[in-house]
Amino acid sequence: MKHLLHAAVFGLSATGAVAEVSVARGEYLVTGPMGCGNCHTPQGADGPLPGAELSGMLVDQNPGFTAIAANITPAGEVADWSDADLAKAIREGIRPDGSVIGPPMPIGLYRHISDDDLGSIVAYLRTVPAVENDPGKSVYNIPLPPAYGPPLTTVSAPAEGATVEWGGYVATISHCFECHSTPVEGVPDLAGHYGQGGLEFPGPWGVSVAPNITAAEEGIGKYSDEELAAIIQHGVRPAGERMLPPMPYPYFAKMTDQDLSAVILYLRSGPTAPPAEM
């Protein structure tokens, strides 16, 4: 079954290696560090609406666009897509009809998702409860790119461990820098202002601003590892201050210790651009 799914999604990789596709790994990624529900699960007054996980919601409304994250449960449009179609939509932002998925779905960063992790995410999404909900369709007044890059065939991840490299991978697919890079013409500038902060998030909470998370003193340099862990996983600053949405704290709370340590190592290493696609 595992092999069939893998073959259906990706075919055999150039090396002939069989990917490890696992529903448990997919669940960890979707409900943990990748926080898909932070955009795709309808929100009630007390956070994500129970029983409505991943059934779609309005994410962002601004002069450029009204972005509605789709119902990605087996009751949504994706139900009729093949596993390969769903994989391509998540990693390359292209639907089976050829249309391009718009922001803020962080496709530029999702292009780094490894074949194994992508197969695991797709496998998990097929197992979540089907929730009937039609959140509506997005409207983009800004032009969408024809694609987010050349077609991808195979993507690998660095070896898993408490290392800078693995941390770079986890931070990338957790889209930290999609929120924390300075916007230029409304779009986070990953190439020139990686992690330098400034993007504003209006909401029922007022306006939150993503701070600088570079290694510098004005970034995360002023925090200890323990303080950073509390910030990232519990949304609490050292003085006890509760932090504002939309940083997906409850999702990051599920990060393994290894992944969290790796992310902190990566932030401290002072990266100035996303890892190269592999």
Among 87, 90, 118, 229, binds ligand HEC (CB under 6 A): 90
Give, as ranges, the residues between 50 and 69 that touch ligand HEC (CB under 6 A): 59, 67-69
The answer to whether 111 touches 277, Cβ cutoff 8 Å, is yes
Distance in angstroms (rounded) separating the CA atoms of residues 88 and 95 = 7
Nearer to ligand HEC, 6 or 167 (CB): 167
List CB contacts of 240: < 8 A, sequence separation 6 or more. Answer: none
- Applying CB under 6 A, the span of 14-22, 42-50, 100-108, 182-190 interacting with ligand HEC comes to 100-108
For position 155 contacting ligand HEC by CB under 6 A, the verdict is: no
Q: Which two tokens stand for residue 178?
A: 């999609």
Give, as ranges, the residues between 128 and 147 that touch ligand HEC (CB under 6 A): 138
The answer to whether 160 touches 29, Cβ cutoff 8 Å, is no
Give, as ranges, the residues between 170 and 199 that touch ligand HEC (CB under 6 A): 171, 174-176, 179-180
For position 87 contacting ligand HEC by CB under 6 A, the verdict is: no
Nearer to ligand HEC, 9 or 263 (CB): 263
For 59, phi then psi, to 5°, come to -105, -40
For position 232 contacting ligand HEC by CB under 6 A, the verdict is: yes
List Cα–Cα distances, 274 to 14, 171, 173, 182, in angstroms: 25, 9, 10, 14
List Cα–Cα distances, 226 to 85, 197, 247, in angstroms: 41, 22, 18
Distance in angstroms (rounded) separating the CA atoms of residues 203 and 43 = 12
Beta bridge mates, 202: 207
Please state the length of the chain.
278
Is the four-CA dihedral 41, 43, 48, 49 of positive or negative sign? negative
DSSP H helical ranges for the chain: 2-10, 23-31, 37-40, 83-92, 107-110, 115-125, 164-173, 176-180, 225-234, 249-252, 257-268
For position 101 contacting ligand HEC by CB under 6 A, the verdict is: yes
Nearer to ligand HEC, 86 or 164 (CB): 86
CB of 159 to ligand HEC, least distance (A): 20
For position 118 contacting ligand HEC by CB under 6 A, the verdict is: no
Nearer to ligand HEC, 12 or 216 (CB): 216
CB of 264 to ligand HEC, least distance (A): 8
For position 111 contacting ligand HEC by CB under 6 A, the verdict is: no
Nearer to ligand HEC, 15 or 274 (CB): 274
Beta bridge mates, 44: 47
Among 13, 243, 250, 258, binds ligand HEC (CB under 6 A): 243
For position 77 contacting ligand HEC by CB under 6 A, the verdict is: yes
Burial label, 200 (beta-carbon count in 10 A; 0-12, 13-18, 19+) = exposed
Nearer to ligand HEC, 16 or 98 (CB): 98
Query: Which residues are near ligand HEC by CB under 6 A?
Result: 30, 34-36, 38-40, 59, 67-70, 72, 76-78, 86, 89-90, 95, 101-102, 104-106, 121, 138, 171, 174-176, 179-180, 201, 208, 210-211, 213, 220, 228, 231-232, 237, 243-244, 246-248, 252, 263
